[in-house]
Structure 1
Amino acid sequence: MDSTPHPSPARALAAARLVIFDCDGVLVDTERIGPKVVAAMATEAGWPLTPHDVLEKFLGTPEPYLLAQVRAHATVPVDDSWLVEYRRRVAAAFDAAPHTMPGVVQLLDALDAGSIPYCVASSGSHPRIRHSLTATGLWERFAGRVFSADDVREGKPAPDLFLHSAATLGVPPAECLVIEDSPAGIRAAHAANIPVLGYTGGPTPAAWLADASAGTLADLHELTV
């Protein structure tokens, strides 16, 4: 683990010229839903998993990786329709109670007031990101600045997605700040040489994000006080 002292999250935010948000578990409260759906569907396919198992194995990773792993461990044939059904179940569960993570709207308002641009860089597909952001009323705030693992050769923990986001918006990596809730996202930000803040306000144990270079924080409201 890096023993270098971390800057405070607020100072890291103040230094950023672009804030790159992960989507699930940072902007929208889906990380409590997805692992339950994956665990149920993997178990149905003959690979018994618990939601905690799913968090450990797949948090922050791209959907094609998830599908490949389920295929490799299933005892019944698993085709591309498995991923379609996974997306359908997650969307249905989220639609029943769509929520942003606490403090998100206030943080976006503060970034707008400070003229600090922001974007989404998510391991989810474009349709899934749009669905989640639309359901929570955030889509218009990010439209035109939404990046998916579908856009790059390798998703998290590779640096490609974050580097693509920064390059598209014309900001050097060192002048960005990533806000992430997954170990894969933390590793991706490190590989991209982008400062990263670990968000522990969802189900991710804080210890999993201890290597975040800008520290960790459990409440996004702390960035706007």
Structure 2
Amino acid sequence: MTPELVVFDCDGVLVDTEHATATIIAESFTHYGLPLNGGEVADLFTGGTMDTVMAEGKRRGADLPDSWLDEVYGLIYARLAQGVDVFDGVFQILDALVEAGVPHYIASNGTMQKMRLSLRPSGLWDRFDGRIMCREDYLPKPDPAMILHAIAQTNVDPRKTVMIDDSTAGCSAGIAAGVRTIGFATEGQDADLAALGAEVANSMAQVQQLILN
């Protein structure tokens, strides 16, 4: 059954920013006395906000300065400005949604500036034409606030809404909102997302088959 609304996460679903971001955070934590690699950072923090990353880093022993958020965001933004990859199949599923007349939104725990940098070069920023939500304006996932806002804006049935996210926080938000939730697992997180009650897909082509067949 064709959905009435589809909500995408951004990082790790539309664009592959997770590896670059995790590497930068790991290097920063290591510099401030908490040796971690990118894989460890991804395991610990994917889907969270940078405020929670900072708090947890301090709790684990990193001697982070009060200015750390500005510092690490500066490094991340500079890296994203160099360009990031769009996941295979993203443009195809967006074209199919447009053809079917299905509205689609982005709900991200990142900042709007980060999404401008990561989405603009490929044209994805313009494709969503203002239908982009972030934790600067809404409670972050796992709270369902962003998903519920998109549902209210489009006046659709939550049971005919789909959320696509690669993190436990995002999938938890989808489940809490009462929508069909697809866990986009490209980093081996299949079991964690399935345990929450999400359907698991390993590619955007598979997502398209699940929701537009």
Identity among equivalent positions (%) equals 34
With normalisation by structure 2, the TM-score equals 0.88
CA contact (8 A) 1:17 1:176 kept: yes
Higher RCO (CA < 8 A, seq sep 6+):
1
Amino acid at match of 1:143: D
CA shift for structure 1 position 111: 0.6
Deviations 1:51-105 (A, max 9, x none): 22212221111222122222333443421x3222222222333333421111001
Q: 1:87 to 1:138 in 2, by over 3 A?
A: same
TM-align CA RMSD: 2.0
Count residues in correspondence. Answer: 209
Q: Which of 121, 145, 165 is the equivalent residue of 2:150?
A: 165
Residue 215 of structure 1 corresponds to: 199
Residue 103 of structure 1 corresponds to: 89
Residue 127 of structure 2 corresponds to: 141
Residue 190 of structure 1 corresponds to: 175
Q: Which of 150, 154, 175 is the equivalent residue of 2:160?
A: 175
CA contact (8 A) 1:198 1:212 kept: no
Unmatched runs of 5 consecutive residues or more in structure 2:
none
CA shift for structure 1 position 16: 1.4
Residue 4 of structure 1 corresponds to: none
Amino acid at match of 1:20: V
Amino acid at match of 1:46: G
**Structure 1 runs, 4 residues or longer, greater than 6 Å off:** none
CA contact (8 A) 1:21 1:120 kept: yes
Amino acid at match of 1:62: T
Deviations 1:151-198 (A, max 9, x none): 12x311222222223223333322210011011111111111111111
CA shift for structure 1 position 121: 0.1
* 1:131 is the counterpart of 2:122: no
Amino acid at match of 2:189: P
Alpha-carbon separation, structure 2, partners of 1:184 and 1:40: 24
Deviations 1:101-145 (A, max 9, x none): 110011101111111110100000111112211122211111220
CA contact (8 A) 1:181 1:204 kept: no
Unmatched runs of 5 consecutive residues or more in structure 1:
1-13
* 1:55 is the counterpart of 2:42: yes
CA contact (8 A) 2:171 2:198 kept: no
Residue 70 of structure 2 corresponds to: 84
CA contact (8 A) 2:80 2:117 kept: no
**Secondary structure of the corresponding residue to residue 174 of structure 2:** helix
* 1:68 is the counterpart of 2:51: no
With normalisation by structure 1, the TM-score equals 0.84
